[in-house]
Amino acid sequence: MSTNSPTEKPFISTFIGEKPKVLLELTNATEKTLKSIEILTVFLKDEETPGGGPSQVHIKFDSIKTIQPNEKVILSHRTWINGKPAGPDDDQLERLKVRAGELRPYVLDISWEDGEGKTRFQRIPVGH
């Protein structure tokens, strides 16, 4: 496996829409086709238990086969609460939106395959 140089950041993430229909848009900011794009599952902090507790909510994103140069894609996702798929009214993607002046407690850990077949990684801080 390979890692990126500190300056290589091929992806730009943007959250679009408002609750209950927030979506993640991912842009390939390079001039290269990127393959096998995956975002690791994001486990959200427990807001129900005073002082925190084990994560009860996580968001899983669908993988993408390829993203062409400068292409934007909307990623499908699913929120899970206590091991069960959440309905549209309980979607938690809103919690990954960045708010100015607030800490970013989560990251989008993205992996992909470059044109040479090497696996690369990028971390994008998100959340509030």
Please report whether residue 2 resides in a domain. Answer: no
pLDDT at position 75 is: 95
Per-residue tokens: 124:
């994008």
| Domain enclosing residue 91, as ranges | 11-122
Please report whether residue 113 resides in a domain. Answer: yes
pLDDT tens digits, the chain, 128 residues: what are they? 444 444 579 999 999 998 888 999 999 999 999 999 999 999 999 887 777 778 899 999 999 999 999 999 999 999 999 999 999 999 999 999 998 888 899 999 999 999 899 999 999 999 98
Please report whether residue 127 resides in a domain. Answer: no
pLDDT at position 1 is: 44
**3-class DSSP state of 64:** strand
CATH number of residue 70's parent domain: 2.60.40
Per-residue tokens: 86:
């959440």
Per-residue tokens: 52:
């925190």
pTM of the full predicted structure? Answer: 0.87
Domain count of the chain?
1
